């Protein structure tokens, strides 16, 4: 890239919207063709079986999506935005609503897909311009060269190459147009002068003929011809000086305007210094025009260019004034020389003197006319032989290594989405979850408070809440493990009194009480389960017994112990229901009848189990705790709020309940095996119906 242009300016030209628009229009890139496919449609750039030509389209509309379904070689069905518009003929002008006038013709070089459908998107050209400019990169090959490197990111190789070629082609055309405009303006200026001189010359030639006819004059004498030749030479120099002054005057007027228009004047400038200054001014004006579109006049960069323009204009004015002074001095010298000739001419006879005067004007006009013809011919030759200042060094080629996506980025994303993000999601979910979920979470809150057992979610195959402990499913073994652990928690020999409670309602306290009692009874131990929840009793519903009399009737002295005891369907397992709900449960539990009941029951049963209301809601459990040996505090996975667990720990530290431990209810087993660190590796003999298959030892 050479000439007088600044390379940085040409980089901006390549990245301009104007040049990109010309390339897009030449390649019809705002009409896109696709073949239907899953999961993505296939781009048919350069191999579409149809060609859509836009004749009169509203460019302000959004993207129009058409589907062309070929019916035959002459007809097709047209869909616009999934709406069937009907059947049309190829090669006919169509007036499509919301689009405008278009034609659709077959491209014999390519065939339709198997489904005979081609998708066509008509995209606003401004949107295509913006998208392509983002993909285009223009840079210097190196800082010391004037070679530009154009790069374009594109998934369709053919389209990327075509865009780069067309951009360069449009750039060359634009450069040639600029040069031709300058030459054209010069020709226009010369033609205007020629028209004026031609008219004047014709008038002078008529004057010569008229004088000869009127005066009967034939020709000048040899002496008169000699004078005429001398005067003619001086007059020619005067005319040349006048033309130069005229060009300088026009140039001076041009640079006075805010945006200098120098077209047509470059080729008439002979002074090399002035020519160079005008080239600098033109380059600065181009920079200013580009800045006008992007920054405010107060911008420092804009002010720098403006100051440079003013400085160059001042240098041009000084150069013009210097040339004018030189030309005027030359003209004065010629005029003085002509004065001597004028004196000599006066000595010639009158007729010859008058004829010389007329002939002199003719010679001046002819010389000026020939000079202008010469300039016109030179400019016309320059116009015809105009070549661009740049040339293509290498054709567009494809980078052998894909730019996007980069393998490192792919591997990083795979690692991110495969490992890191799932871990973050799990941690975030855990952090945002206000419920205790895992045993590890529970242990982190309750510290030294022991966990006597874990009970998983009841299998759907088991119907009611009361389990049949003749079975060998996983949940049965969990209750058996809990029963075994109770041996280490009881503090007295003989009968043992157990209290079961929780912090809030719904943690499965009654379910645990019911099945702990049933599990112990399955070993032949005599068990009495007492529903001590005097506010919302449920155990009688689980066991299928009535609640007409029970614990409350004994406490108020209406019935004896043996009267309120009910047998269950399990051997060795008896039950005392709540009875009628009293108005004052807490006061009722504080009387001496509770101690009397426990003392009498110890003589009849090995285990007495109290199902008490939640301790976080009422104090009933604390009243009963004074008469108990062991406490099981129920916490439910994914239900019990973490915020209540410190309260549970405080109850343990303050010894509000005797021999306190936690039962973790509602946990999720792993394929039917424990996996909770009991230390015994249980996993055999629990039954095919629950595990699916036995664990290999």
Looking at residue 601, what is its pLDDT?
Answer: 94
What's the CA angle centered on 317, arms 313 and 322, to 5 degrees?
A: 150
Give the three-class secondary structure for 588: helix
Question: What pLDDT, on a 0 to 100 scale, did the predictor assign at position 217?
Answer: 53
Average pLDDT of the chain, as a whole number:
80
Average pLDDT, integer, range 173-194: 69
Q: What is the pLDDT of residue 63?
A: 85
Task: Quickly state the pLDDT bin for 679 (edges 50, 70, 90).
Answer: very low
Task: Return the bridge partners of 118, or none.
Answer: 68
Taking only the tens place, the pLDDT of each residue in 551-599 is 999 999 999 999 999 998 889 999 999 999 998 888 888 888 999 999 9
Residue 499 has pLDDT above 60, yes or no: yes
Q: Per-residue confidence at 380, pLDDT binned at 50, 70, 90?
A: low
The reported pLDDT for the residue numbered 423 is: 81
Q: Between residues 494 and 674, which one has the greater pLDDT?
A: 494
pTM of the model: 0.45
What is the pLDDT averaged over residues 346-355? 55
Q: Note the pLDDT of residue 572.
A: 93
What's the pLDDT score for residue 244? 81
366 — phi, psi (to 5°)?
Answer: -65, -45
Of 441 and 423, which is predicted with more confidence?
A: 441
φ/ψ of residue 594, rounded to 5: -65, -45
C-beta neighbour count of 248 within 10 angstroms = 21
Q: What is the predicted pLDDT for the residue at 689?
A: 35
pLDDT for position 566: 93
Average of per-residue pLDDT across 192-197: 76
Q: What is the mean pLDDT of residues 267-277?
A: 79
- Any idea which of 208-212, 384-388, 436-440, 539-543 has the lowest mean pLDDT? 384-388
Give the Å distances, CA to CA, from 519 to 397, 540, 567, 630, 636.
81, 18, 16, 17, 20
In terms of average pLDDT, the best of 223-227, 334-338, 447-451 is: 447-451
Q: What pLDDT is attached to residue 696?
A: 39
User: What mean pLDDT do residues 111-123 have?
Assistant: 90
Per-residue model confidence (pLDDT) at position 552 = 94
pLDDT of residue 683: 32
pLDDT of residue 62: 80
Coil, helix or strand at residue 121: strand
Q: Check pLDDT > 80 for residue 466.
A: yes
Given a cut of 80, whether residue 660 has pLDDT beyond it is yes
| Cis amide linkage into residue 39, ω under 30° from 0 | yes
What pLDDT shows up at residue 264?
A: 52
Instruction: Kindly tell me if the per-residue pLDDT of 697 is higher than 70.
Output: no
More confident position, 425 or 633: 633
327 or 381, greater pLDDT: 327
Helices (DSSP H) in 603-644: which residue ranges? 620-625
- pLDDT score recorded for residue 389: 60
The residue-averaged pLDDT of 322-333 equals 86
| Chain segment 35-64, per-residue pLDDT in tens | 988 788 899 999 999 999 988 887 677 888
Rounded percentage of the chain residues whose pLDDT exceeds 70: 78
Q: Mean pLDDT over residues 518-536, rounded?
A: 93
The pLDDT value recorded for residue 81 is 87
The contacts of residue 232 (CB under 8 Å, 6+ apart) are 360, 363, 364, 367
- Mean pLDDT, range 155-167, rounded to an integer: 90
Q: Which residues make Cβ contacts (< 8 Å) with residue 349, sequence separation at least 6?
A: none
d(CA 365, CA 358): 11
Residue-wise pLDDT for 280-296, tens only, equals 887 888 778 777 766 78
Q: Using 50, 70 and 90 to split pLDDT, how confident is the model at 211? A: low
Bigger pLDDT: 431 vs 643: 643
Instruction: Summarize the confidence of residues 138-154 as an average pLDDT.
Output: 81
């Amino acid at each position: 890239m050479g000439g007088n242009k600044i390379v940085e300016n040409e980089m901006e030209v390549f990245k301009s919207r104007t040049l990109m628009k010309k390339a897009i229009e030449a390649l019809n890139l705002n009409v896109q063709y696709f073949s239907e496919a899953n999961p993505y449609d296939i781009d048919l750039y350069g191999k579409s079986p149809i060609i859509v030509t836009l004749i009169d389209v509203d460019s302000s509309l959004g993207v129009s999506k058409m589907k062309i379904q070929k019916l035959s070689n002459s007809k097709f069905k047209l869909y616009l935005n999934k709406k069937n518009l009907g059947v049309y003929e190829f090669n006919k002008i169509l007036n499509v609503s919301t689009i405008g006038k278009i034609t659709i013709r077959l491209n014999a070089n390519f065939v339709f897909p198997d489904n005979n459908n081609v998708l066509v998107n008509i995209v606003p050209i401004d949107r295509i311009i913006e998208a392509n400019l983002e993909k285009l990169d223009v840079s210097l090959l190196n800082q010391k060269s004037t070679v530009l490197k154009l790069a374009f990111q594109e998934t369709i190789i053919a389209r990327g190459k075509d865009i780069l070629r067309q951009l360069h082609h449009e750039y060359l055309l634009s450069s040639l147009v600029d040069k031709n405009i300058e030459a054209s303006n010069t020709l226009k200026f010369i033609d205007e002068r020629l028209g004026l001189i031609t008219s004047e010359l014709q008038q002078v030639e008529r004057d010569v003929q008229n004088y000869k006819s009127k005066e009967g004059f034939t020709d000048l004498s040899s002496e008169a011809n000699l004078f005429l030749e001398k005067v003619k030479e001086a007059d020619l120099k005067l005319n040349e000086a006048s033309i130069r002054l005229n060009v300088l005057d026009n140039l001076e007027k041009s640079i006075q305007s805010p945006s200098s228009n120098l077209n047509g004047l470059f080729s008439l400038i002979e002074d090399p210094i002035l020519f160079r200054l005008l080239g600098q001014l033109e380059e600065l004006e181009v920079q200013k025009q580009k800045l006008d579109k992007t920054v405010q006049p107060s911008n420092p960069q804009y002010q720098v260019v403006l100051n440079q323009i003013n400085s160059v204009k001042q240098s041009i004015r000084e150069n013009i004034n210097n040339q004018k002074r030189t030309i005027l001095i030359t003209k004065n010298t010629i005029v003085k020389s002509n004065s001597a000739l004028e004196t000599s001419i006066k000595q010639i006879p009158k007729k010859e003197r008058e004829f010389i005067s007329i002939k002199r004007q003719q010679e001046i006009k002819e010389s000026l006319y020939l000079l202008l013809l010469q300039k016109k011919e030179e400019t016309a030759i320059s116009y015809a032989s105009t070549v661009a200042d740049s040339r293509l060094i290498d054709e567009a080629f494809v980078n052998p290594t894909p730019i996007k996506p980069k393998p490192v980025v792919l591997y990083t994303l795979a690692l991110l989405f495969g490992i890191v993000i799932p871990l973050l999601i799990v941690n975030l979910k855990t952090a945002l979850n206000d419920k205790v979920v895992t045993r590890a979470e529970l242990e982190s809150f309750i510290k030294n408070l022991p966990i006597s057992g874990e009970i998983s979610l009841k299998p759907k195959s088991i119907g009611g809440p009361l389990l049949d402990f003749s079975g060998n499913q996983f949940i049965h073994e969990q209750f058996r493990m809990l029963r075994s652990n109770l041996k280490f928690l009881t503090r007295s020999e003989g009968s043992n009194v157990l209290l079961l409670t929780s912090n809030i309602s719904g943690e499965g306290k009654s379910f645990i009480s019911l099945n702990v009692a049933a599990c112990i009874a399955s070993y032949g131990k005599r068990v009495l389960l007492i529903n001590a929840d005097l506010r919302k009793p449920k155990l009688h519903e689980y066991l299928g017994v009535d609640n007409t009399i029970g614990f409350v009737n004994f406490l108020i002295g209406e019935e004896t112990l043996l009267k309120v005891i009910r047998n269950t369907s399990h051997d060795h397992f008896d039950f005392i229901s709540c009875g009628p709900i009293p108005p004052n449960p807490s006061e009722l539990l504080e009387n001496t009848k509770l101690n009397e009941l426990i003392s009498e029951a110890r003589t009849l049963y090995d285990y007495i189990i109290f199902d008490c209301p939640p301790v976080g809601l009422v104090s009933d459990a604390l009243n009963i705790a004074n008469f108990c040996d062991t406490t099981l505090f129920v916490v439910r996975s994914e239900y019990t709020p973490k915020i209540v667990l410190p309260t549970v720990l405080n109850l343990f530290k303050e010894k509000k309940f005797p021999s306190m431990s936690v039962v973790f209810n509602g946990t999720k087993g792993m394929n039917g095996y424990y996996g909770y660190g009991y230390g015994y590796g249980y996993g055999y003999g629990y039954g095919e119906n629950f595990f699916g298959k036995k664990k290999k030892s």
